[in-house]
Amino acid sequence: MRDGKVLAHGTPEEVLTEPMLDEVFGLAAKVIPDPVSGPPGDPDQRPPRT
């Protein structure tokens, strides 16, 4: 959600994407599957955009 509007819906794999994190939060993140449970996560953050 952003500004009270749903920007995407679906499974975590469909919604938790690098472009979506950047669009919604301005977050440059690398999204990879969790090695144990499978759903995506952000293991580390890349440096902020300049």
* DSSP tag of 5: B
Q: What is the pTM of this model?
A: 0.62
Sign of the CA dihedral 10, 13, 14, 18? positive
- The mean pLDDT value for 33-42 works out to 70
Q: What is the pLDDT of residue 20?
A: 92
How confident is the model over 31-47, as a mean pLDDT? 67
- Per the model's pLDDT, the better-predicted residue between 46 and 21 turns out to be 21
48, 13, 9, 49: which is closest to 32 by C-alpha?
Answer: 13
Q: Are 28 and 22 in contact (CB under 8 A)?
A: yes
pLDDT, one tens digit per residue, over 5-27 is: 998 999 888 888 999 999 988 98
